[in-house]
Structure 1
Amino acid sequence: MFEIAMNKTADKVWENCLKIIKDIVEWQHFKTWFEPINPLELNGNVLLIEVPSQFFFEYLEEHYVTLLAKTLKRELGKTARLEYRILVDSGSKGKNGSMDVPAGNIKFYNNNEMSFPLVINDEVKNPFVIPGIKKMQIDPQLNPAYVFDSFIEGDCNRVARRAGKTVAEKPGASSFNPLVIYGGVGLGKTHLGQSIGNEVKRLHPHKIVLYVSSEKFINQFQDHSRNNAINDFIHFYQLIDVLIIDDVQFFAKAEKSQDALFAIFNHLHQSGKQLVLTSDKPPKDLDGMQERLLSRFRWGLSADLQVPDYETRIEILERKMKNDGLELPKDVVKYVAYNISNNVRELEGAMISLLAQSSLNKREIDLDLAKKVLRNFIRTSSKEITIDAIQKMVCEFFAVPYDKLLQKTRKREIVQARQITMYLAKAFTKNSLKTIGEHFGGRDHTTVIHSCQTVKDLMDTDSLFRENVVELTQKVQLAAM
């Protein structure tokens, strides 16, 4: 059998194998998965071939290992073996692998002395090329308005924002790889993801950055698949230094696109490149995703974005006003911030609607106009403000535990919080003094009267106390609107 092999060359053996394979597999599959293979050398009964990528090899192993085994045995006999070489990044160690054709088992071994460059065919199409610019200068697809300075930090997003800054400063070099940012609609996932990309471009101009939505990624993959150019697609994405993929939950129904993403993820992560992913759910709740992908999503840091609190919403509106050169009455800003609480997108949309109506009607913006314009944004309620609601507002404002408000204590901060709560309850509810007192651990109506008078007296003599009461009064007024 060895003599038979001696009279053949690698090219001839592979050519004969392809003749058999061509009659068995569909023409498109043949063009995609067999024509790109390059026979390198024949050593006895061992044929060495070169495949374009790890993903390419895994696909062959999964779908065509038996066919390869049978065809190679016909050419080189029962002891025939197939070895492969996978093209990897020039900065990485090369890999050789051997495949025992009869058994169909594949074993990896390291070769520290060899390095194989990532070969990009001249015909590889860059889907993000800048017109008139050299092919490999990739348009990062970033919105320059999305930067960290315009992403207001609060308790709702502090971890995610600071992790994003760390990633932007040292892409691929921190433990936050991948960085998975998740949260509901309109909370700033796209803004934060693109902020990372813009900051990387500012700090590391030589880095290749790309932002892509999962929908665009899937559509591109399908186009390349129809054109038998999956390898070109994967090779292109393997060039990226910082890859930002938005809304990865949409991969759930795209099984083959997940295969491509898995290959790209592995290559970039192993090459020290940075991945940033956004999702509407944490990785553990992403149904329909391959477990091997989910396990990789969990390698780095998952950080959530929550609904911004009242103070953060105020700051967001003030920053937007400053950027747009606008000035609105404080009571209007507070009204919008208090009533639009679902997400940042609705908050900004409400402000835009308010400005548009003011301009069209040539009317100054005041609280009445705000109420009229924003009625479509605000959930109306027929419920009156309650004593319980006021108690919770005051406790939150002063950071006082609710149960302390009801206890008999002489601590100044607790006593004042309780007195202000009674004062507001008398002013904004229709409850009797007796009912109000009962909500504070069974106190009588005289205690309520005393508390209300004390608040009035302190407002006349203590400016800080007065400011606190005024601000709380505005909060209750807004809640009652």
Structure 2
Amino acid sequence: MSITAQSVWNNCLNFIKDNIQPQAYKTWFEPIVAVKLQENALSIQVPSKFFYEWLEEHYVKILKVSLTKELGENAKLVYIIKMENTYGNKQPFTEKIPSSNRTPVKAQDVDIPLDNKSPELKNPFVIPGIRNVKIESQLNPNYSFENFLEGDSNRLARSAGLAVAAKPGGTSFNPLLVFGGVGLGKTHLAHAIGVDIKDKYPEKTVLYISAEKFTQQYIDSVKKNNRNDFIHFYQIIDVLIIDDVQFLSGKSGTQDVFFHIFNHLHQNGKQVILTSDKAPVDMQDIEQRLLSRFKWGLSAELQHPDFETRVSILKNKLYRDGVEMPDDIVDYVAKNIKTNVRELEGAIISLIAQSSFNKKEITIDLAKQIVEKFVKNTKREVSIDYIQKIVSDYFQMDVETLQSKTRKRHIVQARQLAMFFAKKMTKASLASIGSQIGKRDHATVLHACKTVDNLSSTDKQFRKYVEDITKKLSV
């Protein structure tokens, strides 16, 4: 029987599989492809330079033993690195299996930058070039489970968060995706999980980052031609927390790099925690392969807190601030501000401030004044400018793009929705709305409103846009 690269490599794999952990085999050996066999040199293809370095650091002995068994003492292993970079350089480099008493000699006639024997992993949060620096978690210690009060609206998400914090990477809740509207506590819960993990497992590397910051770091890494350093940095994180993951919508490059980072972390038993303002099924312009990963673990929704939970939140806030307040006043605030936790706490802070600055006793009348002003101020924010900002944010574009002359379909639809909501939620005339949204005339606004009405009744996805933006504007 003729000896082929595949048959030699299969025999090596059988030996390796019997001598290492199944998870390690799956992660580091299953992706390798046998390419060719030339005399006693076997060429294998690996996905990245990082992959090659990891094999050389952790598995060089077992590779040497397995290949020597197949090809004899003079066996050689040639790595072909199928590598992506901004210059499209896919040229391979070769590497002999080293003897135990000498270090590898890298080929000199290749363009792939291999200046350092052991390239340092870059930390985007510290000055480059400092070795063994501690990665700051970016967590806010004030966001804890203690002040994230449980209620029917958040019980599943909170319980899942506690389970993840007790055993990061060791539960079926990986990834844990927490989703819900503005001000319901997604960021608070994400931080709380991270803070608890750091308390229980000080040796673990935990990192909290917004999807927006992650995207900006990726863009910077591409500009500076150190995309691989960016990937390597995120691959060493034990617990990665990404806030507002819906921000990746439409950003194909960032989605691609996050997909590979996610896979690496998941395959190595690391924990991924994500937050979003919508469930995976409702996310737009996110690749299906990424959405399928989001659904691997648990998606837990945070809903608007019920009356009892709102009362508990207010009492906890008052207790932490060392302030006493009659129950009837707490009940009044909880009954009248139902939208979200952020506004609820904002109202109670305003009430305390008014009482302290003006030296007034906290009475039900004062509470009524504050709540009335607070609700009015909240409603007053629904201006044409505010509507444009909400719609722009929802479609991941800036207001200038929304107002521009472009006829791209998704931008036109965003502009029409802004006009529709401006007519529906403000007292401005059609001419005034058109003037403020890209200097259009009243006929354009009228046409936009009719188009939105028609699409809402015939297009399920468009109806979802209207419902989502309505919720955001009602907050």
- Does residue 1:262 correspond to 2:259, yes or no? yes
TM-score (norm 1): 0.56
- Residues 127/163 of structure 1: CA separation in 2 closer, same or farther (3 Å cut): same
Which residue, 360, 366, 381 being the options, matches 2:357?
Answer: 360
CA distance in 2, matches of 1:140, 1:317: 29
Indicate yes or no: 2:211 matched with 1:250: no
Counterpart secondary structure, 2:241: strand
Matching of residue 375 in structure 1 with residue 387 in structure 2 = no
Aligned partner of 2:305 in structure 1 is 308
The 1:144/1:131 distance shift into structure 2, 3 A limit, reads: farther
Alignment of 1:224-235 (within 5 A): 224-235=221-232
Q: 1:371 to 1:121 in 2, by over 3 A?
A: farther
Does the alignment pair 1:145 with 2:142? yes
Q: Retained in 2: the 8 A contact 1:50–1:86?
A: no
Q: CA deviation at 1:124?
A: 3.5
Q: Distance in 1 between matches of 2:231 and 2:126?
A: 16
Counterpart AA for 2:206:
V
The superposition leaves residues 269-290 of structure 1 with CA deviations (integer Å, 9 ceiling, x where unpaired) of 0000000001011111111101
C-alpha change, 1:97 and 1:212, in structure 2 (3 Å) is same
Unaligned runs of 5+ in 1: 1-40, 57-84, 101-118, 381-481
Residue 168 (structure 1) aligned with residue 168 (structure 2): no
- Cα pair distance change 1:147/1:133, threshold 3 Å: farther
- Choose which of 178, 186, 191 in structure 2 pairs with 1:181: 178
Question: For each residue in 1:289-322, what CA deviation from the matched residue of structure 2 results, as whole angstroms up to 9, or x when unmatched?
Answer: 0100000110001110000000000000000111
Consecutive unaligned residues in structure 2, runs of 5 or more: 1-35, 64-77, 83-115, 378-475
Contact 1:209 1:240 in 2 (8 A): yes
Aligned partner of 1:361: which letter? N
* Residue matched to 1:190: 187
SS at match of 1:302: strand
Structure 2 CA distance for partners of 1:311 and 1:371, relative to 1, 3 Å: same
Q: The residue matched to 2:212 in structure 1 has which SS?
A: helix
Report the secondary structure of 2:177's partner residue.
strand
Alpha-carbon contact 1:50-1:87 (below 8 Å) kept: no
Contact persistence 1:151–1:191 (CA under 8 A): yes
Counterparts of residues 395-434 of structure 1 (less than 5 Å): none
> Which of 110, 124, 127 is equivalent to 1:127?
124
Measured on the aligned residues, the alpha-carbon RMSD in Å equals 3.3
1:191-340 counterparts in 2 under 5 A?
191-340=188-337
Say whether the 8 Å CA contact 1:262–1:293 is kept in structure 2: yes
Please state if 1:52 is matched with 2:48.
yes
Alignment partners' CA distance in 2, 1:175 and 1:194: 20
Contact 2:47–2:81 under 8 Å retained in 1: no
Higher-Rg structure is 1
Deviation at 1:50? 5.8
SS of structure 2 residue aligned to 1:253: coil
**What is the DSSP-based 3-state SS (H/G/I as helix, E as strand, rest coil) of the residue aligned with 2:164?**
helix
* Counterpart secondary structure, 1:228: coil
Amino acid at match of 1:52: S
Is the 1:92–1:271 contact (alpha carbons within 8 Å) kept by the matching residues of 2? no
Equivalent-residue separation in structure 1 for 2:292 and 2:129 (angstroms): 41
1:232 shift after superposition:
0.2
CA distance in 2, matches of 1:309, 1:344: 11
User: Does the CA-based 8 Å contact 1:251-1:257 persist in structure 2?
Assistant: yes
Residue 155 (str. 1) matches residue 152 (str. 2): yes
Bigger mean CA offset, 371-380 vs 183-192: 371-380
- CA deviations on 1:20-60 (whole Å, 9 max, x unpaired) are xxxxxxxxxxxxxxxxxxxxx99459755665358x9xxxx
Q: Give the Cα separation in 2 of the matches to 1:160 and 1:120.
A: 45
The aligned counterpart of 1:461 is: none
Work out the CA distance in 2 between the residues paired with 1:248 and 1:137: 25
Question: 1:348 maps to what in 2?
Answer: 345
Contact kept, 8 Å, 1:180 with 1:279, in 2: the verdict is: yes
Alpha-carbon distance in 2 for matches of 1:366, 1:88: 70
Deviation at 1:120, TM superposition (A): 9.7
Which residue identity does 1:140 align to in structure 2?
S
Q: Measure the CA separation in 1 of the matches of 2:81 and 2:352.
A: 68
Q: Tell me, what secondary structure is at the counterpart of 2:146? A: helix
Distance 1:120 1:354 in 2: 62
Deviations 1:147-197 (A, max 9, x none): 101100000000100000000000001100000100000000000001000
Aligned residues: 294
Query: Structure 2: how far apart are the matches of 1:120 and 1:152?
Result: 51
Using the TM superposition, give the Cα deviation of residue 136 of structure 1 relative to its aligned residue in structure 2, in angstroms.
Answer: 3.9
Determine the C-alpha separation between the residues in 2 that align with 1:153 and 1:91: 45
Paired position in structure 1 for 2:415: none
Contact 1:120/1:235 (8 A) holds in 2? no
Distance in 1 between residues matched to 2:55 and 2:373, nearest whole Å: 56
Deviations 1:415-445 (A, max 9, x none): xxxxxxxxxxxxxxxxxxxxxxxxxxxxxxx
